[in-house]
Structure 1
Amino acid sequence: MARNVSTGRKLITTVVAWTIGILIFFPILWTFLTSFKTEAQAIASPPVFLFFDWTTENYSEVQSRSDYLKHFMNSVVVSFGSTLLGLLIAIPSAWAMAFSPTKRTKDVLMWMLSTKMMPPVGVLVPMYLIFRNWGLLDTRTGLVIVLTLINLPIIIWMLYTYFKEIPGEILEAARMDGASLTKEIIYVLTPMAIPGIASTLLLNIILAWNEAFWTLNLSAAKAAPLTAFIASYSSPEGLFYAKLSAASTMAIAPILILGWFSQKQLVRGLTFGAVK
C-alpha cells in the first residue's frame, strides 16, 4: 500500500534536491561562463557572473594552439577501447564467480577491489620502465592496456553483482537443451544482463575518459588524450583561466552529452535487480 506524502514534505524534498543539484552543477556552469570571458574578467574581483563582454576568442586560440580533434580521438579510442577490452575479460570472469563459485571467490573479489586502494604513484616507476622497454610509452595501445587493468576490478565487481541476480535455473535449462559454455554466455546470460552491462560500459567509459594520472605520465604527444590537452594550459608563467576553462569545456562536453542521453539506461542498469 502506497504511503501518502504530505505536500510540505514533497516541497522540502524538492528544494533540497534542487539545491544539491545546483551545488554539484555550479562548477561546470562557472567553467563554461569563464570560457567566454577575457583573461582580465576571469580573474576579476569581485567576480563577474553574467554581465561581461562575451567572446569566443579563447576557443579560437585553444584550437589554433592545440589539435583538439587529435586529443579527442585519442580519448575516444582509449576510453572505449579499454572498456570493451575490460568487458571481454570481465564477462567470463564474473560468470565464473557468480555461477561456479568456490570458497575462495569472495577472497578473490576483495583482493581485486583492494588493488584500487593502492596509490597509483606507488607503481609509477615500474610501470613507466615496463612501458618504455616494451615500446608502449606514448601509444594508444599502452594507454588502453593500463586503463583496462586499473578499471577491471570495478567492471568485474559490477557484472558479478548483476549476474548474481539472474536465476541459475535459466542457465541450467540452457545446458539441458545442449547449449555449450560459450553459447550459454553469449546467447543466454549476456542478453539477460544487457541493462547491467550497459551501465557498466557507460560508467567505465566515464572513468577512463576522466583518468588523468596515467594518461599524463605515460603519454606525451602522439597518444595524449583530452586530460593532457587540459593540462597543457597550466604553465610556469601562471594559469590562463579563460583559456583553461575553454579547454576544459571542450574536454568535458562530449562525456556530458553522452551521460545526458544515456542517463535513463544508466539508472536502469544501476537499479537492475534491486526490485524483485
Structure 2
Amino acid sequence: MARAVTNRRKLIVTVAAWAVGIAIFFPILWTVILSFKSEGDAIKTPLEVLSSAWTFESYATVQERSNYVRHFWNSVVISLGSTLLGLIIAIPAAWAMAFVPGKQTKNVLMWMLSTKMLPPVGVLVPIYLIFRDVGLLDTKTGLVIVLTLINLPIIVWMLYTYFKEIPGEILEAARMDGASLRNELIHVLTPMAVPGIASTVLLNIILAWNEAFWTLNLTAAKAAPLTAFIASYSSPEGLFYAKLSAASTMAIAPILIMGWFSQKQLVRGLTFGAVK
C-alpha cells in the first residue's frame, strides 16, 4: 500500500513538474517557432502558424540589417565584466559579514537587499546626467559599473549565505598557521566556496545578460548589447513578429546553451548547504 501511494505521488509530482516546465518554456518555444516563419504567417492563428512553411528569411534579414557579432561581444564584455567586478567587491564584503562578529550584519544585508526594491526609473535621470558629464554614456565601462552596482546586493547576499556554511574553525586554524588575510581569502575561503561562487557567477551573468532598462537608456550605438539589438525590431510602424522573434532567438541562444551545460553546477551551488 505504501509503495502504491509512493508511486502515485511520484507520478503526480512528475506530471506537475513537467506541466510547470512546459508552461515556463512555452513562450521561448513559440518565439523560436515564429522566427522560422514569414511576417505574413507569424500573425496568423496558432494552428495556421504551425502548418505554414518554414523559412530562414527573418534570420537573413536580421543579419543584413544588424551587426549581431558586435552586439554579442558587447553583451559578453558587459556581463562578464560586471560579474568579475562584483566578485572582487562582494567576496571581501561577504567574508566580513560572515566571519567578523557584528550585531548589525542582518540589518546591513536587509538594507542592501532593499535597494533592489527601488524602481530603476526613479534614479535614471541623475545617473544619466552623471554618465553624460563624466563621459561614460554609451560605453561598455559605464554599463559594467551600473550593472555591478545593481546586482551587487544579490551577489553579497548569496556569497554570505555560502560563507556562513563554512566552519569558522578552519579559518582559525589557517590563522594559527600564519596565513595572512589575503591568503585566508584566496587560498582557504574561496576554494571551499567554489560551488556557491560558481552559482553566483552564473546567476549574475544571466541577470546582466538580460538587463534591458539600463542598457536601452544608457547606450545608443557603440556599447549597445543584445537587448538593444532586440529592441531595434520594435518600431513605430508596428511589430515585426518574425524578425523580432529571430532577433530574440539569436540573443537568448548563447545564455540558454550556457545554462544547459552548467545546470548541474548551478543546482549544486544553489543547494549548497541546504542539507545539514
Give the match for residue 45 of structure 2: 45
The 8 Å contact of residues 94 and 157 in structure 1, kept in 2 or not, is answered as yes
TM-score, normalization: structure 2? 0.97
Give the match for residue 106 of structure 2: 106
Give the match for residue 236 of structure 2: 236
Give the match for residue 174 of structure 1: 174
Q: Which runs of 5+ in 2 are unaligned?
A: none
Give the match for residue 260 of structure 2: 260
| Distance in structure 2 (CA, Å) of the matches to 1:162 and 1:133 | 39
Give the deviation of 1:45 after TM superposition.
Answer: 3.0
Amino acid at match of 2:33: L
Give the deviation of 1:46 after TM superposition.
Answer: 5.2
Give the match for residue 61 of structure 2: 61
Give the deviation of 1:51 after TM superposition.
Answer: 1.9
2:72 paired with 1:72: yes
Amino acid at match of 2:34: T
2:31 paired with 1:31: yes
| Distance in structure 2 (CA, Å) of the matches to 1:89 and 1:135 | 24
- Cα shift readout 1:240-269 (whole Å, capped 9, x = no counterpart): 000000000000000000000000000000
Give the match for residue 11 of structure 1: 11
Amino acid at match of 1:54: W
| Distance in structure 2 (CA, Å) of the matches to 1:253 and 1:146 | 25
Residues 47 and 241 of structure 1: CA distance in aligned 2, closer, same or farther (over 3 Å): farther
* Structure with greater helix share of residues: 2
Give the deviation of 1:6 after TM superposition.
Answer: 2.1
Give the match for residue 209 of structure 1: 209
Give the match for residue 218 of structure 2: 218
The 8 Å contact of residues 139 and 223 in structure 1, kept in 2 or not, is answered as yes
Give the deviation of 1:12 after TM superposition.
Answer: 1.2
SS at match of 2:50: coil
| Distance in structure 2 (CA, Å) of the matches to 1:46 and 1:17 | 25
Between 1:100-109 and 1:181-190, the stretch displaced more is 100-109
| Distance in structure 2 (CA, Å) of the matches to 1:44 and 1:19 | 26
RMSD over equivalenced CA pairs, Å: 1.1
The 8 Å contact of residues 90 and 159 in structure 2, kept in 1 or not, is answered as yes
| Distance in structure 2 (CA, Å) of the matches to 1:15 and 1:163 | 36
The 8 Å contact of residues 79 and 205 in structure 2, kept in 1 or not, is answered as yes
| Distance in structure 2 (CA, Å) of the matches to 1:72 and 1:269 | 27
2:97 paired with 1:83: no
Amino acid at match of 1:111: W
2:183 paired with 1:183: yes
Give the deviation of 1:47 after TM superposition.
Answer: 4.5
- Cα shift readout 1:212-255 (whole Å, capped 9, x = no counterpart): 00000000000000000000000000000000000000000000
| Distance in structure 2 (CA, Å) of the matches to 1:166 and 1:105 | 17
